[in-house]
Amino acid sequence: MERTGHKKFTDEIVEKAKELGACLAGIADVSELRRSPSHVIYSKLDSFRGIGTRESKGIAPGEFVWPQGARSIIVLAVPHPSYKPELDWWMEGCQGGTPGNQMLISINHELSKWLEEKKGVETKKLPYYIEQGGVFLKDAAAMAGLGCIGKNNLFLTPDFGPEVRLRALFAYLKLPSTGPLEFDPCKECDMPCRKVCPQDAFASNKYSQGQIGLADLPGRDGVYDRHLCNAQMELDVAKSERTAAEGGEKAGRVVRYCRRCELVCPVGKRAIDQRRES
């Protein structure tokens, strides 16, 4: 397929993803993703544990193992607006953990099926966890042009702010990247996200360029403590309640994880409010 054909195909993939329910979609190069900040930092860590991680499947700490034939990564986003908090609730017995992730898994599956059956492109749907063969989705999404990583260490988009969740699949075909995007809403922001954290996870510098060897640090300037953020998540788990699922008889544990730094972020608020009113 010629380069012009690849560009048209990239556009077609993005439109198909949106047709299937994604609010945003984009494509990045897998070889470049290996050199992205989170993947470089991860390769220097001795361990990577906490809520949101899993036991590795034969993958050593600090390593990430992807299929050799994977050339492009397709990144999808689904909105998780503050007025639909249940999309982000972790529910015991729910496939994918949350209703929002269920949506992403379904879109990912249908897009993979369309690419393989209709377009003849081999794909691999990615697990969520880096230690089980996944990727750092925020880095992938930034490289694919969906937005940027902000000073709250969250992924920020122009029209949805940080109120999105991500998923991805590999394609065994080299496609033009759709990013990155010239977008930096944090530049003049007074950072309410860093003031609202109940654990003061943004109170001190935890990473430096000399330590990591990169200028792009967690939280932009290294002021982000993943361990304190994880401590809040552990508290959220401890205070979770067992609730009967809608339409079912069985009660399951429901965890409402902290979203304070996300929900106070002003990015995309005008567009979010307009969608809520419409």
* Count of C-beta atoms within a 10 Å radius of residue 121: 17
Q: What is the mean pLDDT of residues 108-136?
A: 95
- The pLDDT of residue 54 is above 90: no
> Cα separation of 240 and 234, whole Å?
10
Quote the pLDDT of residue 140.
Answer: 98
Phi, psi of 196 (to 5 degrees): -95, -10
**Higher-confidence residue: 1 or 75?**
75
pLDDT per residue as tens digits for the range 27-53: 999 999 999 999 888 887 665 555 555
Query: Most distant CA pair in the chain: distance in Å?
Result: 56
Quote the pLDDT of residue 95.
Answer: 85
Q: What angle do CA 177, 70, 215 make, to 5 degrees?
A: 55
**How many helices and strands (H and E) does the chain possess?**
10, 9
Exposure string over 158-191, b if 16+ CB within 10 A, otherwise e: ebbbbbbbbbbbbbbbebebbbbbebebbeebeb
Lowest mean pLDDT among 10-14, 73-77, 80-84, 271-275: 271-275
What sign does the CA torsion over 137, 38, 131, 178 have? positive
- The pLDDT of residue 211 is above 90: no
Residue 46 CB partners (closer than 8 Å, separation 6+)? 61, 62
Establish whether the linkage from the previous residue to 185 is cis, with ω within 30° of 0: no
pLDDT per residue as tens digits for the range 9-19: 999 999 999 99
pLDDT, averaged across the chain: 89
